[in-house]
Structure 1
Amino acid sequence: MAMETPPPAAAPHFLFVVSAVQGHINPARRLAARIMASEPSARVTFSTAVSGHRRMFPSLASPEQEAVDAAGVSFIPHSDGYDEGFDPKVHGTGNYKARAHAAGKETLSAVIAVLAARGRPVTCMVYTFLVAYAPHVARAHGLPAVLYWIQPATVFAVYYHYFHGHDEVLASCANDPDPDAAVHLPGLPPLKSDALPSAVSITSPEHHYYLLLDLLRDLFAALDEELTTKVVVNTFDALEPDALRSVPQFELVTVGPMVPVDESSPSNTDLFRLDDTKAFMDWLDTKPARSVVYVSFGSLLQMNKRQEEEIRRGLEATGRPYLWARKRAGEGETFDSAADGEGRAQGMVVQWCDQVKVLSHPAVGCFVTHCGWNSTLESVTIGVPMVAVPQWTDQPTVAWLVDACMHAGVRARLDGEGVVERDELQRCVETIMADGDAATGVRAQAELWKHRAEEAVALGGSSERSLRSFASGP
């Protein structure tokens, strides 16, 4: 009796659900594009909140209209209840979770239904960590849901242990005034208080950032309920081997570093106004190799006036040319008032810039960074050594990875107000930019990690193999 041939398996269709924050959208778009490139039969639909969708595609006839990028990824928004954007100063944080959960569940379910009606049924949901309603919607539709962790694996491990019995010891260490205080977690090396993500220090619901801790708690509670134990992580095996094995309850799948393939990559989103690219690139063209200090503290941080002044004075004191991407720069401001001995402007201040293009320029020799994970991975893959000035959330842990693990940069000491003072900034920049053995060693380590990152994503590399396996169907 002839056996019946089973029907062909449906092509995988991934629905990405991503919060409307640039630091989440970019690594998610990059993963979506690489899935499409790795598995030609796969589809990817990308859904962020209406507020983010509008800023990504401002020329659409209607804010809810579907868009398709050059990588073939489709974009359909859903509502999180804040279609004009969430502003904690205006809306407060007390009602955010309930409003976002209710609106997100309803509108995301509608997106899934619309895709099915169009003959594109979703086979897997991939979500980032601030859309706590996503796994609940996936479960209601019988879909596997896979978390895409866009921070270091070490941070995932710390949070996991925090929500599984180690909250008190972590909070105690994080708030200990002794700089040598350390916590010992299963599978991880001892972590001092300044290597812990800031959320574990929160002990009161009145804390300004308690909402972040609350959303993380919901996330890990949802993970405990999921049937799948796979978590996709934007890191690579050589960088965090201990952390990747420290939570055996989950299979942490490395697919990073997720950075733009090239400058024209469609997977790079800027939700902020870019300054004239030609102006600052022409300026960089006039500078010698590895002579420029590039400074950026990311898309979220609002730097206070004292920190701005300390950075400006510290950069001036180095005597080196600098390019500073500073969101609060005054309208029309171009060059800083500082000048060299011949009267030429020493630094250029811009509102926002194409960071990958800047870091790739041969004139850039040092990156003063807040240690956002996306910025750090971009710097690692390009081989630019860093001055780490972490502020909050995962950044202290990232600074620890840069300084103590990779030795691809130096960590600045902050004062009691969390400010890096001018003398300390000058010291750190000179440690990297000078001609001594210390600078040579840091630059050599940055080059080493650049090659390790390249190996991970090259054909047959650890991240490339994991991505290819995931793209064929989780």
Structure 2
Amino acid sequence: MESHGRAPVPHLLFVTSPMQGHINPVRRLAARVAAADARVTISTAVSGHRRMFPSLASPDEEAVDAAGLLHVPFSDGYDEGFDREVHDVRSFAARSRAAGCETLSGVVARLAERGRPVTCVVYTFLVGWVPEVARAHGIPSVLFWIQPAAVFAVYYHCFHGHGAVLASCANDPARDAVVRLPGLPPLKSRALPTIVSLTSPQQQGYPVLGTLRDVFLALDADRPTKVLVNTFDALEPEALRAVPGLELVAVGPVVPDIGASPSCTDLSLCNEDSSEYMEWLDTQAARSVVYVSFGTIFTASKRQELETLQGLKATGRPYLGVLRKVAEEGAALDGANGGGGAADGRQGMVVEWCDQARVLSHPAVGCFVTHCGWNSALESMASGVPIVAVPQWTDQPTVAWLVEECAGVGVRVEVDDEGVAERGEIQRCVETVMGNGDAAVEIRASAMTWMERAKEAIAGGGVLQRNLQAFVSGL
């Protein structure tokens, strides 16, 4: 192993599930760790690996990305990807654990044989079995928490004596209940991650609760001193100190380098043409466009997307929407095409995919209507773009709470009995953040303030770099 004339250079193996929302922050963090004088290797399941590197002769072949980082995949037993129409979700956890433990152990062994012994394994929460592999090889492991610190703290307390009160609060039919957890401000039911509301194996998403429980039990067993968290100190000072016995280290916001030229740093940027919608944005006035995206994995319902399109049309403002499930009548609104989109003077443009970081950093974008996935919220804050929060599930309600009540950079929609924000509500919220009222002025000012704070955290010599350097130096 290289030593640079000093102590041996640590080698960190980053392991993540093949979901885009997990792979992207891992790749971004790994690149920053590499810049902190460490060697890194990234490992995800074959299904995710082959999407990043589609031209490989074999889907499990090793590859080097545009940043020069080595990728060595493992198999989770679903090399073609998990398909709910084909595979049994009830057997996913056991099958992926068994296959993953075996094949990742082989990755660690092969790296050692090649003179690249791993000195630390960094993993995300959907591969909670990774510490088992690390222990078998006598290697320390560290969790990289890719959601807010507040969500980590809520889950920690959920699995340490507060599960019943959290479930009771989350299931309050009036949505007025408040829960008080150690180290956190009082949280209303609508601010809690939806997972804590689950009480029966028959409920959708219940397996995720078991996965999370295993992660926190492993933390109890391993007694690590640190957990890396994709947040920054200024945004979540209380939550970062709300878990006894653990040091939550802020290593975020882990967002793309906006100033860099487009590359395949992120999973979905490979082999995609962004020219049409970027050229359309170039024709729009500053801060005039409403950008809409509800994520890459669990998209909003067809009705929600239709209501959103109608609400956008009612605002009279130009919009760019990433809406993959739009019904024919919705896609036909204003003549927009549900495929590649169109931009010949019409009000809106609907596309199936876009380079979100580039869109949010474009001066024409004035608002982001989002499901409030944490990656999306951080990217929006780092770009100074106000948010209309339309949270769906898991951590998204908590992210919406952070956006609206803690950072003051957006507003959260109200939903009907079916959980849908109707067109009038979408229109109202867009106007709240983009109009000329006092609330809009205040929100836009807060958005600019948090953009500067994010830049300060990311800047050379900033908190992020210092925290990462201290972490690497301590290995």
The equivalent position to 1:231 in structure 2, one of 221, 227, 250, is 227
Structure 1 gaps of 5+ residues are 1-6
Give CA-to-partner distance per residue, 1:401-426, whole Å, 9 cap, x none.
00000010011111111111001000
Q: Is 1:307 aligned to 2:304, yes or no? A: yes
Q: Is 1:181 aligned to 2:177, yes or no? A: yes
* 2:373 equivalent in structure 1: 372
Deviation at 1:335, TM superposition (A): 7.6
* 1:405 equivalent in structure 2: 406
* 1:13 equivalent in structure 2: 11
**What is the TM-score when the length of structure 1 is the normalising length?**
0.94
**Equivalent pair of 2:166/2:196 in contact (CA under 8 Å):** yes
**Equivalent pair of 1:329/1:349 in contact (CA under 8 Å):** no
* 2:75 equivalent in structure 1: 79
* 2:417 equivalent in structure 1: 416
Deviation at 1:186, TM superposition (A): 0.1
Q: Is 1:112 aligned to 2:75, yes or no? A: no
* 1:125 equivalent in structure 2: 121
Whole-angstrom CA distance in 1 between matches of 2:145 and 2:236: 14
* 2:167 equivalent in structure 1: 171
Q: Is 1:30 aligned to 2:28, yes or no? A: yes
* 2:453 equivalent in structure 1: 452
Deviation at 1:308, TM superposition (A): 1.8
* 2:390 equivalent in structure 1: 389
Q: Which amino acid aligns with 1:399?
A: A
Q: Secondary structure at the match of 1:220?
A: helix
Whole-angstrom CA distance in 1 between matches of 2:53 and 2:390: 33
- 1:235-384 matches, within 5 Å, as 235-262=231-258, 263-264=260-261, 268-271=265-268, 276-328=273-325, 336-337=333-334, 344-384=345-385
The equivalent position to 2:53 in structure 1, one of 54, 57, 70, is 57
Change (3 A) 1:37 1:336: farther
Q: Secondary structure at the match of 1:282?
A: helix
* 2:339 equivalent in structure 1: none
**What is the TM-score when the length of structure 2 is the normalising length?**
0.94
**Equivalent pair of 2:371/2:390 in contact (CA under 8 Å):** yes
Deviation at 1:185, TM superposition (A): 0.1
Deviation at 1:71, TM superposition (A): 2.1
**Equivalent pair of 2:184/2:239 in contact (CA under 8 Å):** yes
**Equivalent pair of 1:316/1:338 in contact (CA under 8 Å):** no
Change (3 A) 1:179 1:366: same
Whole-angstrom CA distance in 2 between matches of 1:191 and 1:163: 17
Whole-angstrom CA distance in 1 between matches of 2:267 and 2:67: 17
Whole-angstrom CA distance in 2 between matches of 1:315 and 1:334: 13
**Equivalent pair of 1:385/1:408 in contact (CA under 8 Å):** yes
Deviation at 1:468, TM superposition (A): 1.4
* 1:193 equivalent in structure 2: 189
Structure 2 gaps of 5+ residues are 337-343
Deviation at 1:273, TM superposition (A): 8.0
Deviation at 1:459, TM superposition (A): 2.7
* 1:3 equivalent in structure 2: none
Deviation at 1:83, TM superposition (A): 0.8
Deviation at 1:248, TM superposition (A): 2.1
Deviation at 1:463, TM superposition (A): 1.9
**Equivalent pair of 1:44/1:74 in contact (CA under 8 Å):** yes
**Equivalent pair of 1:162/1:200 in contact (CA under 8 Å):** yes
Q: Secondary structure at the match of 2:471?
A: helix
**Equivalent pair of 2:302/2:327 in contact (CA under 8 Å):** no
Q: Which amino acid aligns with 1:130?
A: L
Whole-angstrom CA distance in 2 between matches of 1:163 and 1:471: 29
Quote the sequence identity (%).
64
Q: Which amino acid aligns with 1:220?
A: F
For these two proteins, the number of residue pairs brought into alignment is: 462
Give CA-to-partner distance per residue, 1:210-238, whole Å, 9 cap, x none.
11111001111111111422100000000
Whole-angstrom CA distance in 1 between matches of 2:352 and 2:270: 8
**Equivalent pair of 1:323/1:348 in contact (CA under 8 Å):** yes
Whole-angstrom CA distance in 2 between matches of 1:71 and 1:292: 32
**Equivalent pair of 2:263/2:269 in contact (CA under 8 Å):** no
**Equivalent pair of 1:274/1:351 in contact (CA under 8 Å):** no
**Equivalent pair of 1:182/1:191 in contact (CA under 8 Å):** yes
Whole-angstrom CA distance in 2 between matches of 1:334 and 1:410: 26
Whole-angstrom CA distance in 2 between matches of 1:309 and 1:239: 34
**Equivalent pair of 1:272/1:352 in contact (CA under 8 Å):** no
Deviation at 1:43, TM superposition (A): 1.0
Whole-angstrom CA distance in 2 between matches of 1:471 and 1:370: 34
RMSD: 1.9
Q: Which amino acid aligns with 2:393?
A: W
- 1:437-448 matches, within 5 Å, as 437-448=438-449
Q: Secondary structure at the match of 2:85?
A: helix
**Equivalent pair of 2:433/2:440 in contact (CA under 8 Å):** yes
**Equivalent pair of 1:30/1:267 in contact (CA under 8 Å):** no
Change (3 A) 1:274 1:175: farther
Change (3 A) 1:473 1:111: farther
Q: Return 454-463 or 260-269, whichever deviates more.
A: 260-269
Give CA-to-partner distance per residue, 1:170-222, whole Å, 9 cap, x none.
00000001222110000000000000001000010111101111100111111
Whole-angstrom CA distance in 1 between matches of 2:261 and 2:22: 19
Q: Secondary structure at the match of 2:147?
A: coil
Q: Which amino acid aligns with 1:131?
A: V
Q: Secondary structure at the match of 1:290?
A: coil
Give CA-to-partner distance per residue, 1:292-323, whole Å, 9 cap, x none.
00000010123322112111110011010100
Whole-angstrom CA distance in 2 between matches of 1:175 and 1:183: 12
Whole-angstrom CA distance in 2 between matches of 1:183 and 1:443: 30
Q: Secondary structure at the match of 2:86?
A: helix
Deviation at 1:111, TM superposition (A): 0.1
Change (3 A) 1:276 1:266: closer
Q: Return 68-77 or 358-367, whichever deviates more.
A: 68-77
Q: Secondary structure at the match of 2:368?
A: strand
**Equivalent pair of 1:26/1:267 in contact (CA under 8 Å):** no
